[in-house]
């Protein structure tokens, strides 16, 4: 499966690259995430709307490892639009964390919030993050925002991600399959509600647990600031009972800082004018709000996006 996804990603990038100056029109590659995550679904819907509503434009959503990889693709000209968690984007513009230097990106909008899921396999005794010590745990794939958050959550719980667990680095698709196969005890996933892969797992394994992670939030905020917030997951979205409090992180839509101003304006305009069409693709698009969308610091708004929001008043 990993090889198939890699082929899809490469095919998407080849089909989509070119940016504002590519050939007879705009060929836009949208870097998203795994196929059962929200980024990919949302990105596919956005690609359809951009292709239909911006003249001479063909947009394509590509499969990636998500936030970290997406930013690197933007910075190297291999993608034109990318989804990212705000914490990873902050690292990128500051040249910290997963990035050795400041990345040349700007934001179009804050779009919705991600929820940290810590999913525990049936029969595994774990009720909080610290209970994962000694267990086999997937932290998400390399170059993903999920892995950034997972490591920080484990550290906030007093665990070393490299020595206190048996670490796996699996995509959401692979993590779900590993729980089904009984090869991992738990996995981290950071995404919107609902995430299709978790829906699938909860349907086939209704005795999984999604644990409360509120106890690590204060330490994460102390270490990394207010980019992390407390959010509630009503587990009915996964046909499970109850609710849990967890760590939340905003999502932003990013572009290279060299993107043409008019193109950035047109993408932002389409994003908001076609909100209802995007909601039909995934309910997280209902969170689109022009006032909230401008809250992207420390990433700067692209001038084209800033012009759109100014006109909207």
* Model pLDDT, residue 12: 41
Angle between helices 145-156 and 67-75 in degrees, nearest 10: 130
State yes or no: pLDDT of 71 exceeds 60: yes
Nearest residue to 67 via CA among 35, 109, 32: 32
State yes or no: pLDDT of 129 exceeds 70: yes
- If one compares 19 and 51, the residue with the highest pLDDT of the two is 51
Local confidence band at 13 (pLDDT 50, 70, 90 cut-offs): very low
Local confidence band at 22 (pLDDT 50, 70, 90 cut-offs): very low
List 243's β-bridge partners, or say none: 234
State yes or no: pLDDT of 174 exceeds 60: yes
State yes or no: pLDDT of 188 exceeds 90: yes
State yes or no: pLDDT of 169 exceeds 50: yes
Map out the domains of the chain as residue ranges: 2-112+251-312, 115-249
Tell me the mean pLDDT in the region 214-232.
Answer: 95
Tell me if 2-112+251-312 shares its fold with 115-249: yes
* Model pLDDT, residue 11: 39
The class (CATH top level) of 115-249 is alpha beta
The class (CATH top level) of 2-112+251-312 is alpha beta
State yes or no: pLDDT of 3 exceeds 60: no
Tell me the mean pLDDT in the region 149-159.
Answer: 98
Local confidence band at 205 (pLDDT 50, 70, 90 cut-offs): very high
Q: From residue 188, give the alpha-carbon distance in Å to each of 42, 172, 270.
A: 21, 9, 33
Category of 184 on φ-ψ map: left (φ > 0), alpha (ψ -120 to 50) or beta: beta
The whole-model pTM stands at 0.89
């Amino acid at each position: 499966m990993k090889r198939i996804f890699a082929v899809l990603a490469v095919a998407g990038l080849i089909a989509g690259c070119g940016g504002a100056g590519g050939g007879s029109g705009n060929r836009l590659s949208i870097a998203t995430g795994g196929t059962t995550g929200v980024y990919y679904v949302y990105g596919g819907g956005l690609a359809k709307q951009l292709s239909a509503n911006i003249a001479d434009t063909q947009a394509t959503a590509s499969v990636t490892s998500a936030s970290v990889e997406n930013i690197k693709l933007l910075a190297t000209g291999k993608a034109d639009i990318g989804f990212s968690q705000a914490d990873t984007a902050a690292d990128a513009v500051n040249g910290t964390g997963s990035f050795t230097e400041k990345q040349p990106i700007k934001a179009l909008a804050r779009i919705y919030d991600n929820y940290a899921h810590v999913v525990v396999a049936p029969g595994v005794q774990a009720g909080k993050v610290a209970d994962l010590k000694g267990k086999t745990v997937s932290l998400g794939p390399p170059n993903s925002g999920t892995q950034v958050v997972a490591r920080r959550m484990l550290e906030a719980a007093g665990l070393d991600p490299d020595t206190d667990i048996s670490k796996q680095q699996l995509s959401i698709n692979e993590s779900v399959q590993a729980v089904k196969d009984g090869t991992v005890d738990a996995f981290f996933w950071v995404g919107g509600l609902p995430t299709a892969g978790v829906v699938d797992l909860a349907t086939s394994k209704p005795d999984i647990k999604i644990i409360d992670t509120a106890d690590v939030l204060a330490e994460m905020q102390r270490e990394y600031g207010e980019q992390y917030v407390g959010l509630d997951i009503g587990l009915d979205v996964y046909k499970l009972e109850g609710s849990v409090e967890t760590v939340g992180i905003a999502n932003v839509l990013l572009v290279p800082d060299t993107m043409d101003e008019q193109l950035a304006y047109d993408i932002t305009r389409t994003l908001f004018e076609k909100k209802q069409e995007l909601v039909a693709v995934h309910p997280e698009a209902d969170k689109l709000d022009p006032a909230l969308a401008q809250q992207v610091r420390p990433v700067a708004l692209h001038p084209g996006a800033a012009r759109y929001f100014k006109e909207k008043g």
